[in-house]
């Protein structure tokens, strides 16, 4: 059974720091992995989508990597800003389950 874990559940860092959010999954049989951002009381905004054949994707200050063999993905945020404060969720499209499975998210707080 595919399980997706995000650790830590919460993270607080000062503005300007580079940081890494982690996502791990138990079954390497995935089609893709997607990182989302969720602001309080809002829906999910897609940040990056990595296909199973890709190693990384970049968008602005964000870089997501994927290592299927070890069941890990990281979201790297460069030069963090207070506006980056949100909950970040990763989701894998599991080929065995034929659906996407979400992690519980990391709540990120950037201190000015």
Binding footprint of another protein on the chain (CB under 8 A): 4, 31-32, 34, 36, 41-46, 49, 51, 89, 91, 93, 98-100, 102-105
CA distance 111 to 80: 9
Q: Which is nearer to another protein, 85 or 87 (CB)?
A: 87
Instruction: Give the C-alpha distances (Å, rounded to integers) separating 55 from 30, 43, 49, 73, 90.
Output: 13, 27, 11, 9, 16
CB of 78 to another protein, least distance (A): 23
CB of 112 to another protein, least distance (A): 26
Residue with tokens 């390497």: 28
CB of 59 to another protein, least distance (A): 13
Q: Which is nearer to another protein, 34 or 80 (CB)?
A: 34
């Amino acid at each position: 059974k595919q399980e997706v874990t995000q650790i830590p559940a919460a993270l607080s860092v000062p503005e300007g720091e580079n940081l890494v959010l982690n996502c791990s999954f138990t079954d390497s049989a995935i089609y893709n992995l997607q990182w989302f951002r969720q602001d309080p009381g809002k829906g999910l905004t897609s940040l990056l989508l990595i296909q199973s054949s890709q190693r990384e994707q970049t968008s602005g200050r964000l870089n997501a990597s994927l290592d299927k063999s070890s069941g890990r993905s990281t979201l790297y945020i460069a030069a963090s800003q207070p506006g980056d404060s949100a909950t970040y969720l990763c989701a894998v499209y599991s080929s065995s389950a034929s659906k996407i499975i979400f992690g519980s998210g990391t709540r990120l707080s950037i201190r000015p």
